[in-house]
Structure 1
Amino acid sequence: MRKVIIFTILFINTLLGAQIEELSWPRGETFLTFLEKYKIPLNLYYDLEKEDKELCSEIQAENNYFLYTEDNGDLNQVLIPVSSDIQLHIYKDSSNNYKFQTLPIDYVENSEFVAIEINESISNDIFKVTGNSYLSAIVQSLFKGSDVNFRKMQKGDFIAIQYTQKSYLGKPFGMPEISSAMVQINKKPYYRFKYSKDDKYYDEKGVGFTQTFFFQIPLAYSRISSHFTNKRYHPVLKRYRAHLGTDFAAPTGRNIYAAGDGKIEFVGTQGGYGKTIIINHQNGYKTLYGHQNGFAKGIRQGQMIKKGEHIGYVGSTGLSSGPHLHLGMYKNGVAIDALSVIKKPQTDGLEAKEKASFLANSQNIIKRFEKEIANENRTLPNKFERTKDRSEINVM
């Protein structure tokens, strides 16, 4: 056994002149159709454990994956991210047999603090400095519903942002997370600061401008039969495992209710999750309800749904060892622990004892914004922190 860094696994063959392709996962493609496309024996999938088969159902359309094919078109290996921390790896071993494993994603997380002078437009100017195509839309969404009018921005105004962004194989991975932002319009500044306890954004006076979205547990259950795990190293199997959802054990036929208001995005069968419903909520959240026995009457794609509305029935369809509901939750396309959101205490604003600390920290950030705006050498972003996460793995 030898220890290698995950980056090496995929790129060991590049030393011999091989080409790595970065591709977008096509809509309608499944793990099985992918295997068929590259003439990989389907038993690679059928012989997997239930937990790994479920992960194969987590592949998101239009997400990037990394493929290496040989000169004759045969697949040598592929890395397919299924969450912010875990990816599927198919590769040929020394005997030319295809193998499957799950691996941690070797991403780098950058924290940056930038001040950007407006010369052309918000989108173009932010992209030129950061190279990030999402930041402009996120910044504008933070000020939505306020008196901030981006159309009134003039040349010479500024936008300042403090944010973190994961990168993978040298490219942005996932959505950036903005912790604070300043928009200057006609020389007047407007601020937003994120409060970690409720994920809301406040101004420099502690006034909130976003609503925290709260969910309910969608059924009466007997017990939680499997908890959410994003990246866990199994000491006996000596490999990484993941379960991107929470399993609620309950009798077949028990009612399932919508965890929150939203729009039904999918109704049908989805790989290992069997009969599945996906609801798109506000604030970037989605919920997935898997292994259902059937759907409530009238449930259809595109339908608006209310929190607590009946949507289906507990079952054991797909890859399931017994009746239960698999509840998946996603924030901006990334799987998260549903219980961490459902159990989050509801707050209507900053508590008195925490407000003083929040406001003091906000003033420190404002001073940093002002200092960076005054800095004439700001062609490139100032990278105040560089935190690297390079996980070692064991390869047989």
Structure 2
Amino acid sequence: MKKIIISLLISIKLFAISSVEELSWENGKTLLDFLQDHSIPLNLYYNLDTEDKELSAEIVSGIKYQMLKDDQGELEQVLIPISDDLQIHIFKNMDNKFVLNFTPISYIKEKRTIRVSINNSAYQDVYDESGSVTLARAMVRAFKNSVNFKNVKKGDSVILIYEQKRRLGKLFGDININAALANIRGKEYSVFLYKDSYYNAQGKELENFFLTKPVKYTRISDRFTRARYHPILKRYRAHLGIDYAAPTGTPVKSAGDGIISFVGNKGGYGKVVQVKHVSGYMTLYAHLSRFAKIKRGQKVKQGQVIAYVGSTGMSTGPHLHFGLYLNNKAINPETIVKIPKSSLSGKNKEEFLKIAKDYQERLKNVGEDFKNPSKEQNVESYMEL
């Protein structure tokens, strides 16, 4: 019901809107900076509780956000995504005063299948056929450790079964390829998505990216949760990472090889380091007391000390907030902090094999005469790392 009311509110206000401006969030910009830049009362930020101030620091640089103005050019609403599921909604109420809420993102989920014959390169042909650079990138990730697309020849093909989201008429966020089949030089390669990782038909993991725990901790004080409605607080909450409790000054290590993409302050997260890794992964380390001798653009190795545990920003005690993102979508770090290339077993394997069998049947039924979905025409709200 709350989602319906929010959608109605946006729809009603849109009748008075004469322009919608889509912008990209600047690197290093905070919510407080945004409010100040647009003469919006700063108490919208200062009146947030600790968890919401921390959550506001999840706005990722490069993400597309919308500013809605009336015919006089006055700002009426702002929609700022902070994940695939949650956004900051700033709007004027009936008293013409600005209000800030965290609201679920309204989007349409589309399930699609596409078959692409390879004429030039798999990446380019998927993009040309679909109009979606996000789908092309997702295809590369899905097959990264099972297919060498440099060996393709004209007439080879790929079939992708995937889910995408559409928000405000445009593609939004990441695309999940649930199953894929590549026919390369007469040999078939299939991959299946299960709990954020790709496996072959036998349940052997194909991902080769893995993380180590970034800090020696005493306990996990908070785990990863997606957007959820809190029945007592009557609002939406989320915790897009893991909190490791540890004494101030405990060394924080890079969870994987990568390149430092951000060093500095980030709103409610206080002192922050971000590391960009292979295949679209990025890790975030927050509430730090101080940084090691690092700088943006510097290469770091897995296990290299990059900072030290602290309690900066909106923190109630010394701990490391550790976030993991895939193409700027927050995912549970506990799914990647593990031994690489493991095989499924027990109930997980039983569940996976049922899912894979169903997808295998669907992939086999996609013939050369399969009619693909219409090519995307809109520019995508893709979040570039």
TM norm structure 2: 0.84
2:361 aligned with 1:380: no
Encode CA deviations 1:241-271: one digit per residue, 9 max, x unaligned: 2222222333222222222332222222222
Amino acid in structure 1 at the alignment position of 2:343: G
Q: Is the 8 A contact 1:25 1:60 kept in 2?
A: yes
2: CA distance, partners of 1:50 / 1:319: 6
TM-aligned CA distance change 1:64 to 1:354, over 3 Å: closer
Q: In structure 2, do the counterparts of structure 1 residues 92 and 189 end up closer, same or farther at CA, with 3 Å as the change threshold?
A: same
The aligned residue for residue 385 of structure 1 is none
Deviation, 1:152, is 4.1
The 1:3–1:125 alpha-carbon spacing in structure 2 relative to 1, beyond 3 Å, is closer
Residue in structure 1 matched with residue 198 of structure 2 by the alignment: 200
The alignment-based identity, stated in percent, is 41
Deviations 1:18-75 (A, max 9, x none): 3333332233433222212321122221222121111221111221112211233221
Structure 1 distance, partners of 2:115, 2:2, is 45
Partner of residue 101, structure 2? 101
CA shift digits 1:170-206 (9 cap, x unpaired): 32221111122223345x243231252681332x577
Q: Quick check: 1:267 aligned with 2:263? A: yes
Q: Given that residues 198 and 212 in structure 1 are in contact (C-alpha distance below 8 angstroms), is that contact kept between their aligned partners in structure 2?
A: no
What is the distance in 1 between the residues matched to 2:19 and 2:136?
A: 33
Residue deviations 1:91-142, cap 9 Å, x none?
1111111111100112222222222334676455434543422222332344
Q: 1:196 to 1:206 in 2, by over 3 A?
A: closer
Q: In the alignment, does 2:182 pair up with 1:183?
A: yes
Task: Report the Cα distance in structure 2 between the residues aligned to 1:249 and 1:227, rounded to whole angstroms.
Answer: 11
Is 1:116 the counterpart of 2:100? The answer is no
Residues in 2 aligned to 1:248 and 1:144: alpha-carbon distance in whole angstroms? 31
Secondary structure at the aligned position of 1:378 is classed as coil
Distance 2:50 2:239 in 1: 10
Report if the CA contact (8 A) 2:249-2:310 is conserved: yes
Query: Is 1:285 aligned with 2:281?
Result: yes
Aligned to 2:211: 214
1:157 and 1:184 in contact (8 A); partners too: yes
CA contact (8 A) 1:6 1:105 kept: no
Greater displacement, 311-320 / 77-86:
311-320
1:89 is displaced (CA, Å) by 0.8
Q: For residues 95 and 215 of structure 2, what CA distance do their matches in structure 1 show? A: 48
Offset, 1:322: 2.4
* Structure 1: 5+ residue stretches without partners: 382-396
| Equivalent position of 1:239 in the other structure | 235
Structure 1: distance between partners of 2:352 and 2:221: 39
* Structure 2 match to 1:53: 53
Aligned partner letter, 2:172: F
What letter matches 1:172 in structure 2? L
CA distance in 2, matches of 1:352, 1:28: 45
Aligned partners of 1:217 and 1:224: how far apart in 2?
A: 12
1:40 equivalent in structure 2: 40
| Structure 1 counterpart of 2:343 | 349
Name the Cα RMSD after superposition. Answer: 3.2
Q: Which amino acid aligns with 1:312?
A: A
Going from structure 1 to structure 2, the CA distance change for 1:214 and 1:326 (only over 3 Å counts) comes to: closer
Q: Is the 8 A contact 1:198 1:347 kept in 2?
A: no
Q: Is contact 1:180-1:191 (8 Å) kept? A: no
Please tell me whether Structure 1 or Structure 2 has the larger radius of gyration of its CA atoms: 1
SS, match of residue 216 in structure 1: coil
8 Å Cα contact 1:216/1:260 also seen in 2: no
Conserved in 2, the CA contact under 8 Å of 1:182 and 1:189? no
Q: Contact 1:102 / 1:239 at 8 angstroms: preserved in 2?
A: yes
1:293-331 Cα distance to aligned partner (Å, 9 max, x none) = 1122x2232333233332222212222232222222212
**Counterpart in the other structure of 1:170:** 169
The reply on whether 1:334 has 2:329 as its aligned counterpart is yes
> In the alignment, does 2:238 pair up with 1:252?
no
- The DSSP-based 3-state class of the residue aligned with 1:369 is helix
How high is the TM-score relative to the length of structure 1?
0.82
User: Is the contact between residue 192 and residue 356 of structure 2 (CA under 8 Å) also seen in structure 1?
Assistant: no
Structure 2 match to 1:391? none
1:359/1:274 CA distance change after superposition, 3 Å: closer
* Cα distance in structure 1, aligned partners of 2:198 and 2:370: 33
- 8 Å contact 2:160–2:180 — kept in the other structure? yes
Per the alignment, residue 378 of structure 2 pairs with: none
1:158 maps to 157
Q: Which amino acid aligns with 2:225?
A: T
CA distance in 1, matches of 2:223, 2:202: 39
State the AA in 2 paired with 1:37.
Answer: D
CA distance in 2, matches of 1:189, 1:302: 40
